[in-house]
Structures are given as C-alpha cells and as structure tokens.
Structure 1
Amino acid sequence: MLTSVQDIGMISVIKVASSCLTSADYAVLKAAQERAQQGGRSALLVDLQAVRRITQSGLAALLEFQSETPRTGAVGFFGARRPVREAIAKRGLSPLLPLFESQEDALESPEFRIKRLAGVKSVILVAGAGSRMAPLTQEMPKPMLDMLGHPIIAHLMRHMQRFGLRDFILNPGHLGSEFHAFFQSSADRSVQFVNEGHYQGKSWIKAPVGSAGTLHAIQRKTSAFDGNFFVLCGDALTDINLADMMEQHRVRDADVTIAVQQVPVEDVHKYGIVDANAVGRIMGFVEKPEPENAPSNLASVGIYIFNPRVLKSAPLSAAHGGDIGKDLLPALLLSGGRLDIYEDSFSWIDIGCVRDYYRANSLGLRGLLPDVQPEGTEIRRKVWCAPGADVDPRAIIVGPCHIGPGAVVEAGAKIEGPSVISAGARVCVRALVRRSIVMPDSCVTPGTWVDDMIVCGDWAIDHRFADGTAQICPPLEGVVRVAAACEYPQTAGGQGR
C-alpha cells in the first residue's frame, strides 16, 4: 500500500492508496504514524476514500493502529465508502474507529480543531487607553472590562484556545498592572508580557510605543516569532475560523493576511478600509474615509496573520513608534509585500465605545454573542447568578440579567433586563434598575431609579447616546460606592431617567 501525507498544523492527514485494506497494510500505516510523530504532529487523520473493501484482518490493523496512538494525540478516519462503513458497523467497531464524512468535518470536530494551530503564537494588543470608552476605562483597561463574569479578553482567548492557540503575548500599557494581576496564574495557557510601561514603586507608568513598535520589540527582545503568528485586538469578540484563515495564509504564502468584513457604506468613516482586487490581494488602505471617497466597504477587523519575515523588511519608520494599520501595513505595501484579505462569514463585535459595551452585554445575555455565556447558575428564566451573589427571593427580576459575584439584591428591589449587576454591587429595597449596568462595588440606594444607564458611585452615563464623543458624566443622585452606602440616608431616592 502506498500513502501520502499532508500536514495541517499539528495534524497529519494520511491518504491510503490501497483499494483493499488488509493486515499487510498495518506496517505502512504505522510507518506514516511514526514519521508524523517525529515531525511533532500529535493528531492523525486517515483518508479512506480509495478503499473499496476491507478484510477482517484489515479492520484489526486499523484497531491496532488506532490503539497505539499516544493518549495526548487523536486519530480519526474519513471518506469511508459504504462497504467499509458497513463492515465497521457490523462488527460493532464504530465507537472505537471514529468515522467522519469528510476531511472538513473531521477538522471542525473539537478533538481535531484544537490541534490545528497548536504551537502558533498570538499577540493580543492591549496597550491602548480606550479614551472613547471613558469613563469606564478610567480605572480598568478596556480588554479587562467585565463581560458577564469574565474580562472581554478572557472570552477572546477562550475562542482562540478552541483552535489550539495557547501561547499569548500581551503588551500592557494603560493600567497595565491589571493584566499582570489577572494573568499571574494561567495554568491552561502561556501568557508573556512585553510591557509598554513600567513600575515606579507600586505605581504603574505607561510608556506607549505603538502596535508596530511592539511587534519589533517582541522579536528583538525574545525572538518569539519563528513562524507565522496572529495579531489581534484585545477589545473585540469574534467567532472567526482562525484555522481556515491560517490555511489560506500558508497556501498563498502571504506576508500579511488581514481579516475583513463588509460594513454599511454610511459607516465606512468609522473603520480602516481596504482596497482589494478580485483575487483578494490588497492594493491600498484608506483610514476612516468619507463614504464618497471610500474605495470599498471592506473594513479591517483588527485580526492579522504575519509572516515573521516582514519584521526584517519593514522600514524603520514603521518599526519605531508606529501603528500597524496606519504605518506598518502601508509601508509593507509600498515596499512590494504581498498582503491578502481573508473574507468569510463570521461574527465580529467591536467594543469601541460605551454604547457598544452595553450592546455587547445585552447580546451576551440573549445568547447572541460568540463564545460568551453568563457565569453562574440560572436561578430564574434568563437570570444568572454568579457564585457568591446574594439575591433575595422577594426581589423582582425580569431577565435577561446577570448578577455578579458578591453582588447583593435586596427584597423589594426590581431589575429589568437586559441588565447587569456587577461584582460587589448592591441594589437596595425599592430601587429600580432597568436596561442598565451597575458597575462593581456600586450601590443603588433605596428608592433610586436607574434607566438606560451605566452607573458607578463616581459617574453615570446614558449608554444610548455614548458614541465615543467626549461627555460630561456627573454621578447619579442615589448611586454611591458600596463603602459609602452605610452613610447614605435610607429614605433617599433619585431618578435617573
């Protein structure tokens, strides 16, 4: 029997060329398996499309081949014709020999998808000040803002880990100590920091260098990039198929592949717009153009794959203090680099301003956000309660709502969703929270109404109109810090409508 082997990430696909599979074929399969393992591959898929008939000894050969795979690996078979499938089923071997209809079905199954990008490194950009998200980002960097029990960046990482990505590099800048504290114990992933700042005593001082400068600093300091690597923004959520994007990048041998989505023409002024030809090769970039000047409506979503050779060829002006979108990519294009788009059907939620943040929480509560599930137990229909939360059964709660860890909802309080009561927050008797987010360690005092707001003890903002433009956000009467709640008059009540 002759075989051919194709490698897809950490998976080797072994194509069987024999029309009749017998025990004599075991040695060839075993040799292909050993070559794959020597090459560092931990998963094997066997293509059985050419096999028209399988003998009993051939079935035994497949069983032995499957049983000798290390427990850390995975083995599957696909493309089996009807006589082969029937022979396997007749002898009750279906549970032992996992069969898939096609290679595509096998690669999308959880046990193989998690192998496709194992070993690939990912940079998640987190240094930005998030000024359009103020005042939420005054005390917490945007990627670390809570999203139904976990930081935004944790939800993004969970999606990436579904493809086997677990080696992450972060560039903390604004409030960088928050990242250090959260990721100090990450058993299921490797997190490395290349800081855009430093500690001065116990205080963190940011020192921005720009996203392009960050990539060069990572390579200069750690030589981290020995193969194609991902770069993503830490403040967006997506369900993009990263393995398919990487496969396209490898096949085309692109210098950079950029994920894009079509946006409404009237919204092109919000994005970096890409001009690409019919085969997906990028011809130019326009940053936030007016609709009449836009070459297309293809917006970059801030998800890139880079070949490390671009860090050697990029002009120094783009390497020092530059931005990836504004400086590095146009410079690579001018120098003759091959930049391609990746355009497919995927969800992408850009959390750019306070309005976007509320909308993302609302979508997550309704089950419409990729890879985001509210933390905790569903104590009532569409009402999730995180561990440590205390909800009085006499409180009136109409979902969807999320009550964070350590939060308290008193008897007689009323909450209408979509709403979030964050960690350590408190909603007192006769208080009303409707379509709002109460930020951590904030107290809605007795009789206070909070409508269509995001509130904490120091500020309040109507999320419906918070589009990223500068706003004055005075505190809402009746919402205080939890630490100050004991001093607040119990009969007080403000209205935030």
Structure 2
Amino acid sequence: MDGVVLAAGEGTRMRPLTADRPKGLVEVAGQPLLTHCFDTLLSVGVDRLVVVVGYRGDDIVSRYGDQYRDAPIAYVRQDDRLGLAHALEQARPAVDGTFVVLNGDNVCRANLAAAVERHRETDASATLLVEDVPRAEARSTGVVTTDDEGRVTGLVEKPSDPPSTLVTRGFFVFDPAIGHACALTLPSERGEYELPDAVDLLLSAGHRVEAVELDGWCHNVNEPDDIDAVENRLA
C-alpha cells in the first residue's frame, strides 16, 4: 500500500525555523517531522512512500534519498502550492490502488490502522480520521457531518458556521476515485483546491465515505510552540 505524505508547504508560521529548511525537516524530539510521518505510515502497513515536495524540496530528497527503512520513496513536485487537492492531483500518477495520506506536519499516536481496516471492511472510496473539538476550533479546519451509522454525509473547509464539531485530523484512506475528484475540484474563495471539496464531490457522485473517530492524538505542528507541546506528549 502506498503512503502519500504532503510536505510541499513553506511553513511561514514556523519562522525562523523554516528560513533555511523545509518544514518537514524541522526536528521534534530529535527527529525531523517527516521521519515521524514515515514511521507512522510504515506502522499501518505502508510499503512505499510518495512524498509531495515544494519549498526547498531538494533538501528533503537529499536527506532521505530513494529509500526509508526498506520502503522505496518516490518524490512528486508541487511547485505551485495551490491546496491539498492540487497536491494529490500531482501525486495521482505515482500511486496505485488504495493508498493513505498523511499531512507532513502531523505527529500521531493514534488508531490510524483502524481507519485502514474500516476502509477495507466497508469498501469505501474514502475514510477520514475525525475528532470532536470545540466549536471555535471547528471554524479553522475541515468539518465533517455524519449519519447515525457513522457514514460521512458532508465535508466543508473552514466554515464560519460549522454544521458539526467533527473535524478531519490529517489522515485519510483513499481509493483511486479521489484522483478524478481532485481533477474536477474548482478553486475555493482563497484560490486553493481544497481536499474537502474533492471528498464532497465523491459524496455527490454516490461514493461511500466513512469516518473513524480518533483514539489517541494527532498534533499538527504549525508554530514553534507546537514543538514543545508534541515533545511533552512524547515524553
């Protein structure tokens, strides 16, 4: 199974740490963020890594080369950073069959394998790891609505009036149908191709989308203070 790591962003909120390196090479607990991501993906059955690079991407290629712990690495460039759906569209030719996606600035100790298992059991086209959060936090990320059986009925990016308090947590399981949906996604008001919009296209076309609630934690490292928070959790 392929594991796609989205690591093209410039990480402006991580300055000055990202002035001379990509965000994925910022160290947390003595290891680059990408090393944490790779270890996480290999633990859920990934045997090949696809890394989407952009800002200072050559530094990532030089650091990891073409293999990590016996898993081959392929690199895909996203020179124009136009959103996560755009990033997946660049990666589409490099992946095969069911694959997982992890944001390259996430450190996780959670039930990611359960999301992979649910995806396979239900024959879904997409499975999302989600968490129930305070309403104020839901306004700043992808918000998920579900039915009584846990199937996803809608997904919207950064709504001013969230329809629920379930949010995505940066880990996804997809079948190839997501590639076509990403190609059809239109730019949002902020000029980016949003992954929630692509998943919503899957729903509109009648595809099954599942949600698995987070058990454990996934911490997005957006700012320097997040490094201390993650290191405290790992201690």
1:322 to partner: Cα distance: 2.2
Q: Give the structure-2-normalised TM-score.
A: 0.87
1:393 is matched with which residue? none
Unaligned stretches of 5+ residues in structure 2: none
Match in the other structure for 2:89: 216
Cα deviation, residue 209, structure 1: 4.9
Which of 75, 80, 103 is 1:193 aligned to?
A: 75
Instruction: Say if 2:199 is the partner of 1:317.
Output: no
SS state of the match for residue 155, structure 2? Answer: strand
The 3-state SS of whatever aligns with 2:139 is helix
Cα distance between partner residues in 2 of 1:144 and 1:187: 15
Letter of the 2:81 partner, please give it: P
Matches within 5 A, 1:95-174: 120-174=1-55
Give the C-alpha shift of residue 187 in structure 1: 5.1
Query: 3-state SS of the aligned residue for 1:177?
Result: helix
Write the deviation string for residues 272-312 of structure 1: whole angstroms up to 9, x where unpaired.
Answer: 1111111111122232234xx22221110111110113324
Structure number with the higher helix fraction is: 2
Secondary structure (helix, strand or coil) at the match of 1:294 reads coil
In the alignment, the residues of structure 1 paired with residue 185 and residue 21 of structure 2 have an alpha-carbon distance, to the nearest angstrom, of 29
Provide the C-alpha distance between the structure 2 equivalents of 1:361 and 1:168, rounded to a whole number of angstroms: 25
Quote the residue 2:172 is aligned against: 304
The equivalent residue for 1:418 is none
SS at 2:149 equivalent: coil
Structure 1 unaligned regions, length at least 5: 1-119, 198-206, 368-497
AA partner of residue 218 (structure 1) = A
Contact 1:213 1:319 (8 Å CA) reproduced: no
- Count matched residues: 230
Is contact 2:182–2:195 with CA below 8 Å preserved after alignment? no
Structure possessing the higher radius of gyration over alpha carbons: 1
- Separation (CA, whole Å) in 2 of partners of 1:123 and 1:279: 28
Distance change >3 Å, CA 182–CA 300, structure 1 → 2: same
The counterpart of 1:282, out of the listed 121, 141, 152, is 152
Secondary structure of the structure 1 residue equivalent to 2:144? strand
Partners of 2:146 and 2:153 within 8 A in 1? yes
Q: Structure 1, residues 23-67: CA drift from partner, whole Å, max 9, x if none?
A: xxxxxxxxxxxxxxxxxxxxxxxxxxxxxxxxxxxxxxxxxxxxx
**RMSD over aligned Cα atoms:** 2.2
User: 1:219 is matched by which residue type in structure 2?
Assistant: R
Residue 295 of structure 1 corresponds to which residue in structure 2? 163
Q: Is the 8 A contact 2:178 2:198 kept in 1?
A: no
* 1:229 equivalent in structure 2: 99
| Runs of 4+ more than 4 Å apart | none
Counterpart CA distance in 2 for 1:260 and 1:186 is: 30
Question: Offset of 1:319 from its aligned partner?
Answer: 8.0
**What percentage of aligned pairs have identical amino acids?**
27
- Whole-angstrom distance in 2 between the partners of 1:311 and 1:254: 15
Structure 2 residue 127 is matched with structure 1 residue 246: no
Query: C-alpha distance in 2, partners of 1:286/1:163?
Result: 27
- Of 247-256 and 186-195, more deviation after overlay is shown by 186-195
Question: Does the Cα contact within 8 Å between 1:123 and 1:230 map onto a contact in 2?
Answer: yes
SS of the residue aligned with 1:219?
helix
* Shift in CA distance, 249/129, structure 1 to aligned 2, threshold 3 Å: same
Amino acid at match of 2:193: G
Distance 1:249 1:155, change over 3 A: same
Equivalent position of 2:59 in the other structure = 178
The separation in 2 between residues aligned to 1:323 and 1:286, in whole angstroms, is: 9
Residues 366-423 of structure 1, C-alpha deviation per residue, up to 9 Å, x if partnerless?
x1xxxxxxxxxxxxxxxxxxxxxxxxxxxxxxxxxxxxxxxxxxxxxxxxxxxxxxxx
Distance 1:262 1:288 in 2: 15
Are the counterparts in 2 of residues 216 and 319 from structure 1 also a CA contact under 8 Å?
Answer: no
